[in-house]
Amino acid sequence: RYVGLANIEANTGVYDVMEVFGNQVKSSVGLFKKGELVFSKLRPELRKAFVSADEEDAYVSSECFVFQNPNPEILNIEYLAFLLRSDLVYGQIVFQISGTGRPRININAIQNINVPLPPISVQNEIVESHKKAHKAYLTHINKSILELEKASEVLRNAELRAKEAICQNLS
């Protein structure tokens, strides 16, 4: 069970776990468990961060940090993942990114982020609100995919009609 950087969607917290053989993974890995937060240190502008909802442990690219929640009564880990994907955090780390071809952020920059910590009830509300917004986002994405398929079909039909008209008038 492995999550590579390509399996983490930018800006959303969505990830896919792949079943791979150990020899298919070409670098060192980190282990993450249910409820732990994974944050990509490579290309932080993509804001790849998620909280594992899987019951089974999995491995993640060494290009990711894995964080445990030190105190669930004070911090909702999904709230922290949401913040790590936000402009609030990116604005704090953007000047600390190093490298041009493969830009990275180091652990010190992450550990020094100033995170607003409202009461846990407010954090929970923010997380629930974001989950609802993400569900609506997926609905719109699916509608867009269907509309794009319809648009392609319209163009294909127009091309077929044009070919038929050309063939009929050449006979």
Helix axis angle, 77-84 to 120-170, nearest 10° = 50
Q: What is the pLDDT of residues 116-132, one digit of tens each?
A: 999 999 999 999 999 99
pLDDT of residue 171: 64
User: Rounded mean pLDDT of 10-35?
Assistant: 79
Asked whether residue 68 carries a pLDDT value surpassing 80, the answer given is yes
pLDDT of residue 151: 94
Bridge partner list, 39: 49, 65
E-strand stretches of 44-148:
49-51, 58-61, 64-67
Asked whether residue 147 carries a pLDDT value surpassing 90, the answer given is yes
Tokens of 113: 């982020």
Question: Residue 41: which of 133, 123, 109, 134 has the closest Cα?
Answer: 109
pTM (predicted TM-score)? 0.76
pLDDT of residue 28: 72
49/84 Cα distance (integer angstroms): 7
pLDDT of residue 170: 80
Question: Residue 13: which of 138, 120, 145, 140 has the closest Cα?
Answer: 138
Contact 13, 71 (CB under 8 A): no
Q: Could you count the other beta carbons within 10 Å of the beta carbon of residue 20? A: 12
